[in-house]
Structures are given as C-alpha cells and as structure tokens.
Amino acid sequence: MKRFLIATALLACFGCFGCAAKTVETRIVPAPASFEYGKGTLNLKGININCDPALDAPSVRAVRQFSDRLSLVSGKTSSVASPIGLARTVEGGKIKGMYFIKDASVPPEGYRISVSSRAAVIRASSVSGVLYSLQTLRQMLPLSIYGTEPDNSSRWTIPCCEIEDAPRFRYRGLMLDCCRHFFSVDEVRKVLDVMAFYKLNRLHWHLSDDQGWRVEIDKYPRLTEIGAFRNGTMVGGDWKSNDGIRYGGYYTKDQIRDVIAYAEARGITIVPEIDLPGHMQAALASYPELGCAGSQPQPYEVWTIWGVSRQVLNVGNEKTMQFLEDVLGEIADLFPGEYIHIGGDECPRDEWKTDPDCQAKIAELGLTADGGVSPEARLQNYVTARMQKFLAGKGKKIIGWDEILEGELAEGATVMSWRGTAGGIKAASMGYDVIMTPNSHCYIDYIQSEDMDKEPFSISHMWSPKKKKVKTPITLERVYGYDPLGEIPAGDQGRILGVQCNLWTEYIATPEHLEYMLFPRVLALSEIAWSDPARKDFDAFRQCLATRQLPLLDLLGVNYRKLD
Ligand code: ACM
C-alpha cells in the first residue's frame, strides 16, 4: 500500500507519463486496507473463470455478470465453471485463470485478491465480499469494463498484486429525500449503481414528509391519491410564492419491490423512513381526522412551501396510533432489511399543549415535566417506544433522528446524529448504536463551494441571502476530512455503526441537479465509510477522481460537480 501511495503521490507531482500512468489508474476508491504490487501483470482477456461450488447462487450470478461484461468488452469469451474440488486445486498451486473461493476466514464484508502473472485468486466469506472484490477488479481494468461496446484498443490486464480489504464501518449510507421532490425509479436505480461501485451498502429512503407521501399503503389509499400531490411549489426562496403547477408522484409496492431487488443484487439494503409524529402534513391532508382538533388552518393541504409544518399527528387519539401501526406494519412487510427509520425529528409540540386528546393521554400516562423535559416531549417518547415495540414484534429495529434522545429512549434504538455530533457522542455514551450524519460535514444539500454566485440555489443561499461567500461550505475536501470516530471516546467507538450523507431536496428538482449535489461528494463518503483513516490521502484521491472516477461518471451519463 505504501509503495502504491508513494507512486500515486509522485505521479500527482509529475503528471502522467509512461508506465507510471498505470499506477494512478489502479488507485482504488475507496482505498483498500492493504494493497501491495507484485511484478508483472495478468491478462484477463478470454481468461477461464472458476467458482468454488461452495459459493452461493447470488455470488456466482455476480461473477457471471462480470464475466459476461468482460467477454463483451474485451472481444474474447471468458467461460465460468464450478469444478468440484476447486479449493483444493488452488491450494495445490500451479493454477491458471481466475478463481473465486469461499473462505470462512475472511471477515464478513471483506475479500482478498492475489494476482500473479498466471492466476488471480479471490477469497471471500459472503456475497458482499464477492461483490466488493468484483468492484475492485473492475477498478483495475480499463474504463470500458463499465461500458457495453467492444474495446479492442485497451489491454485487458491487471497488475500483479496482493489486496486484503474489509470496511471500517458496517453501515455506509446515503439518504435520499424523494418527498420534497420526487425522483423516478430509474433515477433511484442510477444512484444505486454508483453507490455499489463505491461499496456503499445502505440507501436510506425518505418516503414521507409534509410536502408529499411517496409509498403506496393498501389500507390507506388516500395517502397516495391525495397525499402524493401538492397544488404547486414555492419558487426559489420566496415563501409567499407558488408556481401554480400541480406536483407529485409515488412508488407502487411493485416498484418498491423492484428497487429492493435491484439494490440487493448490488449489496445494498434499503432503510425506509416514515417520519413521525411531525413532518406529517401530507398524511393529514389525506386523513384529516388524524390531526389535532383545533388545528388551523383547516382543511389541511399537502404543503407547498418548505420548512417544518406545525401541524402534527394527534397522538392522543388511539385511531392515530392504529394508523401508525398499520402503516409501519405494511412497511415492515414490504422492506426486508433489519431497520425501519421512524424519523422523530423537528416535531413542534405546540398543538399537543391544547389538544384535549393529547392532554388526556398525558394525564392517563402520568407524564410530567421533569429534568427540563416537557410532558409533550415525554408524549413523543411514548409514541417512539410504542412504535419500537410494535416493530420489534415484526422482527425490526428502529432508527430515529437524534431528537429521539430527548427524555427517555428504550434500549435497542439506533440514533442518527444530524444536529452536529453531540447527539451521537451522547447516544454512544448511553449505550445506543449510532450512525453519524452531522450537518457539519454530511449534509450534501448544502452548497459545495464558498462562491454563492457560482453554485445553484441551495438551502445555504436561503440562510445567507445577502452574502457572496459561505463560511463553511460542505466541500468535497470537508466531507473527505470527516472522521466519524474523531470525537468519540475510545470506549464508546464500538457503538458507531457507520456514517451517512443526507441529500434533502427542497431546492433540487431535477435528476441533473440531484447528481450534481451527490457527486463527487458521495465518493468522499465512500472513502470515510470504508477506508482506514491512515490510508486516506486527499491529493491522491482527488487525482484519482480526475483521471479515473469522474471519467467513469461521464461514461455512465452521471452528472457531477467539476473539481475546482
Ligand atoms: C433533519 O435534517 N431534519 C433530520
């Protein structure tokens, strides 16, 4: 690895020439735990590929896809076989070709690649490890491995090397808000493709909010008939405006199953979010009886402006609690992952202070102001705990934004630290699992350079309307520089499951703009989520983006912000 980084750094200083160019091309993102060059190369054109019969079907399918693509682009067929006794043949040495071996000694998501001038041996203990090894192999090949056109001008070799790799964190996530603006299944798939190339493994899918409900729920059809559409959208930063264009969309359950399967084939699990008990105005527009009786203005409408609506669910009404359990029940049945995100952020509790049902519930539960926590905040604790228990009965765990820490939180909840890092530090010290998503480094809806005039309109422009420059934009380098364990005491670090970037879409209406905000910052996320900080090197990373990764995004037709 050291030699590899030195070569990369030298090249960054002296530019591309001769064989050294290969060194930069083989810089892998995210940087592997260890990478040592050997002497020479292995030609993969027409190579025979062998799969250990002990490998599971999804692993073999992934190897076949790799082989099919390699055959197509290199112009010579690589066949895949699963001969009996393969592992022993490999142990015996004198092998030729490519070998994928199941090896229980490799860590769960890890892989090992050993390349000589005669053979490549790839070892993994799980399908994730096999998928990640294939991503690494692709990154060592000519860019056209990602294409569908034969490429006769490239050499289909990879360098002889020893790679040993496994992720630093098991949760490597990206959050996509498809509520403020709706993005098609095709666009979500495109994002999943790029996530997979960079070994990210969780798509947190924000599916309900004040401005739109996006998932079909059989028991409550009006959620999508009414809640999925709004009567216009505010224009730019003008709160009083409305473009007059009816806007919306939602995903059917079949479409969602399709996205889940697509993600799973790429090693990605979807974490759905139903944000409750605030951020529910679209649901209230669909079922007004779930709201607080004295709520104004009535009737509810799917919100046409951004911000945080003060209209929230009436959680003192048992019908509302039944609604939440019904919805979460359908969500739990639809999504196979272990986590359901129940939001919990930014819930104004003003309505609860005067609502007779909520006050009766507070009295019934004996909730009092205690330790600076209001009875209404404790009422939210009750809702969280009840949903957590309900979902546990369905075999699911909850994730919530860091507001769920206020008051009491039951054991087993996972906290997403978004208001900086304080929530994450506190939650870890209290024994909760944590995912770090601080808005100081991981909010990629924020502007990505300090120059406000040159960047598209963003939430950062809203906060500083008269300024020309933003003090701490979330630049590529800022995301890259974040260490999720940086502020966590050593004894609590085991509680940090991982890290995630969040893309809220109030000011992002098109796929091109979405991609511009995602990339290349998501590549920086990949490296902070996967790589040992000792392996990180921003200059080498940036150089690799310029020479290899951004041309890949070009090839895939993915938009991105150009490097400064
Ligand atoms: C959030 O940004 N409201 C979690």
pLDDT in tens, 305-359: 999 999 999 999 999 999 999 999 999 999 999 999 999 999 999 999 999 999 9
Catalytic one of 151, 193, 326, 346? 346
Q: Is 452 helix (H, G, I), strand (E, B) or coil?
A: coil
**Each residue of 17-33: pLDDT tens digit?**
233 334 434 689 999 99
Q: 214-231 burial by CB neighbour count: b if 16+ within 10 A, else e?
A: bbbbeebeebbebbbbbe
Residue 439 alpha carbon, nearest atom of ligand 1: 2
470 has pLDDT over 70? yes
The helix/strand count (H/E) of the chain reads as 20, 19
In the chain, the percentage of residues whose pLDDT exceeds 90 is 92
Q: What are phi and psi of 489, to 5 degrees?
A: -55, 145
Lowest-confidence pick of 44-48, 82-86, 501-505, 507-511: 82-86
Task: Please tell me the distance between residue 26's alpha carbon and the centre of ligand 1 in angstroms.
Answer: 38
**Backbone dihedral region of 28: left (phi > 0), alpha (psi from -120 to 50 degrees) or beta?**
beta
Q: Is the CB of 306 under 6 A from ligand 1?
A: no
Q: Is the CB of 345 under 6 A from ligand 1?
A: yes
Please determine, looking at this structure, whether the domain spanning 2-165 carries the CATH number 1.10.10.10: no
206 is catalytic: no
CA distance 523 to 442: 12
135 has pLDDT over 90? yes
Contact in structure between 56 and 82 (CB atoms under 8 Å): no
Q: 74-88, 243-257, 450-464 — which one is most confidently predicted on average?
A: 243-257
Give me the amino acid identity at 535: R
Predicted confidence at residue 180, as pLDDT, reads 98
Instruction: Evaluate the CA torsion angle 100, 101, 102, 108 in order and state its sign.
Output: negative
In the chain, the percentage of residues whose pLDDT exceeds 70 is 95
Q: Is 409 helix (H, G, I), strand (E, B) or coil?
A: coil
Q: Is the CB of 459 under 6 A from ligand 1?
A: no
Tokens encoding 352: 């609860």
Mention every residue, 6+ apart, whose C-beta is less than 8 A from residue 37: 3, 4, 159, 160, 161
Task: Please tell me the distance between residue 275's alpha carbon and the centre of ligand 1 in angstroms.
Answer: 10
Predicted confidence at residue 464, as pLDDT, reads 86
Task: Please tell me the distance between residue 224's alpha carbon and the centre of ligand 1 in angstroms.
Answer: 23
Q: Is the CB of 346 under 6 A from ligand 1?
A: yes
Q: Is 563 helix (H, G, I), strand (E, B) or coil?
A: coil
Longest dimension (CA), the chain: 80
Residue 512 CA, chain-centre distance (Å), reads 18
Catalytic one of 181, 204, 206, 279? 279
User: Tokens 């009436």 belong to which residue?
Assistant: 314
The rounded radius of gyration (Å) of the Cα atoms in the chain is: 25
CA distance 182 to 236: 17
Q: What are phi and psi of 97, to 5 degrees?
A: 115, -160
8 has pLDDT over 90? no
**Each residue of 498-523: pLDDT tens digit?**
999 999 999 999 999 999 999 999 99
Residue span(s) of the chain under CATH 3.30.379.10 come to 2-165
Residue span(s) of the chain under CATH 3.20.20.80 come to 171-531
Q: What are phi and psi of 172, to 5 degrees?
A: -130, 95
User: Exposed/middle/buried for 45, CB within 10 Å: 0-12, 13-18, 19+?
Assistant: middle
Rounded to two decimals, the pTM is 0.95
Spell out the CATH class of 171-531.
alpha beta
403 is catalytic: no
346 is catalytic: yes
Structure-model confidence comparison of residues 242 and 7, the more confident one:
242
Residue nearest to atom 3 of ligand 1 (CA): 345
Q: Is the CB of 401 under 6 A from ligand 1?
A: yes
Predicted confidence at residue 439, as pLDDT, reads 98
Task: Please tell me the distance between residue 345's alpha carbon and the centre of ligand 1 in angstroms.
Answer: 6
Residue nearest to atom 2 of ligand 1 (CA): 418
Q: Is 11 helix (H, G, I), strand (E, B) or coil?
A: helix
Calculate mean pLDDT across residues 174-197.
Answer: 98
Catalytic one of 25, 52, 103, 209? 209
